[in-house]
Structure 1
Amino acid sequence: MTQTSTALDRAALARWRNAIIAAFGLGGISISAWGPRLPAVTSELGVNTGTIGLLLACVTVGSIAGLLAATPLLHWLGSRRSVTGALLVVAAGIALMGGTLATGLLPLVAGAFALTGFGIGSLDVLINVEGSAVERTAGRTLMPLMHAAWSVGAAVGSGIGAVCAAAGVAPSVQFIGEAGAIAIVALAASASIPSGTREEDHGPAMSRADHLRHWLRAWTDWRLLLIGVVMLGVELGEGSANNWLTLSAQNDHGDTAAGAALFFTVFATGEALARIFGGPVVDRLGRVRTIRVTTALGILGLALFILGGSAWLTLPGVVLWAVGVSMGFPLGMSAAAESGPNPAARVSVVASIGYLANLAGPPAIGLLAESTGLLGAFWLIVALMAAALVSAGSLGARR
Structure 2
Amino acid sequence: MIDMPSTARAGRAPVITRERAAVALMFLMNGFLVGAWAPKIPEFASRLSLSEGTLGLMILIFGLGSITMMPVAGMQIARFGSTWVTRITAVLALPTLLLLTVVESVWTAAIAIFLFGGLIGAMDVAMNANAVATEKHMRRSIMSSCHAFWSLGGLLGAATGGVLIATIGPFGHAVLVTVAAALMVAIGWSMLLADKPHAEEAKQKVRLPMTPLPWLIGLVALFSMVPEGAVLDWGALYLRNELNASVQLSGFAYAAFSLTMATMRFAGDIVRDRLGAVKTLRICTVTAMIGLLIAGFAPSATFVIIGFAIAGIGISNMVPIAFSAAGNLPGMAQGIGLSVVTTMGYSGILVAPSAIGFIAEHVGLATIFAALPVLHIVVLLLSNLARHADGAAGGSH
Shorter-chain TM-score: what band?
0.7 to 0.9
Distance 1:106 1:241, change over 3 A: farther
Q: Distance in 2 between matches of 1:391 and 1:119?
A: 31
Name the structure 2 match of 1:47.
Answer: 51
CA RMSD of aligned residues (A): 3.8
Structure 2 unaligned blocks of 5 or more: 1-12
- The offset of 1:78, in angstroms, is 5.6
Secondary structure at the counterpart of residue 263 of structure 2:
helix
Indicate the percent of aligned positions where both proteins have the same amino acid: 27
- Structure 2 equivalent of residue 178 of structure 1: 177
1:251 CA drift (Å): 6.2
Query: In terms of mean alpha carbon deviation, does 314-323 or 292-301 score higher?
Result: 292-301
Structure 2 distance, partners of 1:295, 1:282, is 14
- Where does residue 18 of structure 1 map in the other structure? 21
User: Map of 1:314-393 to 2, 5 A cutoff?
Assistant: 314-342=304-332, 344=334, 345-365=336-356, 381-393=372-384
- Cα distance 1:349–1:269, how it changes in 2: closer, same or farther (>3 A)? same
CA distance in 1, matches of 2:185, 2:54: 32
The alpha-carbon distance between structure 1 residues 206 and 331, as it changes in their structure 2 partners (threshold 3 A), is: closer
Decide whether the 8 Å contact of 1:224 with 1:350 is kept in 2: yes
- Given that residues 20 and 130 in structure 1 are in contact (C-alpha distance below 8 angstroms), is that contact kept between their aligned partners in structure 2? yes
Q: Quick check: 312-321 or 31-40, which moved more?
A: 31-40
For each residue in 1:152-179, what CA deviation from the matched residue of structure 2 results, as whole angstroms up to 9, or x when unmatched?
Answer: 22332343357669x7997776555433
CA–CA distance in 2 between the matches of 1:172 and 1:378?
39
Give the corresponding residue for 2:215. Answer: 225
CA spacing shift, 1:301–1:51, aligned 2, 3 Å: farther
Q: Which moved more, 1:364-373 or 1:388-397?
A: 364-373
Mapped contact 1:124–1:355 kept (Cα < 8 A): no
2:71 partner amino acid: L
Larger radius of gyration: 2
> What is the total number of aligned residue pairs between the two structures?
375
Pairwise CA distance, 1:326: 0.9
Q: 1:282 to 1:71 in 2, by over 3 A?
A: closer
Relative to structure 1, is the Cα distance of residues 310 and 109 closer, same or farther in structure 2, using a 3 angstrom cutoff? farther
Map Cα deviations across residues 47-71 of structure 1 (whole Å, 9 max, x no partner): 33x5444222111110122112213
Partner of 1:122: 122
What amino acid is the match of 1:315? I
8 Å contact from structure 2 (residues 79, 202) kept in 1: no
Counterpart residue identity of residue 347, structure 1: L
SS at structure 2 position matched to 1:211: coil
Q: Decide which of 181, 201, 211 is 2:205's aligned counterpart.
A: 211
**In 2, Cα distance between the equivalents of 1:183 and 1:366?**
37
| Inter-partner Cα distance in structure 2 for 1:395 and 1:146 | 18
Following TM superposition, by how much is the alpha carbon of 1:320 offset from its aligned partner in structure 2, in angstroms?
1.8
Q: Deviations over 1:107-145 (max 9, x none)?
A: 444333222110111011101111111111112222222
Name the aligned partner's letter for residue 226 of structure 1. L
Question: Could you tell which deviates more after superposition, 178-187 or 261-270?
Answer: 261-270
What's the CA shift for 1:20?
0.6
Alignment of 1:183-194 (within 5 A): 183-194=182-193
Show the counterpart of 1:142: 142
2: distance between equivalents of 1:46 and 1:307?
37
* Counterparts in 2 of 1:26 and 1:36: CA distance versus 1, 3 Å: same
Contact 2:217 2:385 survives alignment (8 Å): yes
Of 303-312 and 232-241, deviating more is 303-312
TM-score normalized by the length of structure 1? 0.77
Decide which of 14, 23, 32 is 1:29's aligned counterpart: 32
User: Aligned letter for 1:353?
Assistant: M
Give the TM-score normalised by the residue count of structure 2.
0.78
Contact map agreement 2:133 2:195 (CA 8 A) in 1: no
Q: In 2, Cα distance between the equivalents of 1:307 and 1:170? A: 43
Shift of 1:75: 6.0
> Is this contact kept in 2: 1:74–1:126, CA < 8 A?
yes
Once the two structures are overlaid, the 10-residue window that deviates more, 125-134 or 91-100, is 91-100
Q: Which residue of 2 aligns with 1:95?
A: 98
Is the contact made by 2:83 and 2:130 (CA closer than 8 Å) also made in structure 1? no
The 3-state SS of whatever aligns with 1:192 is coil
Gaps of 5+ in 1: 1-9
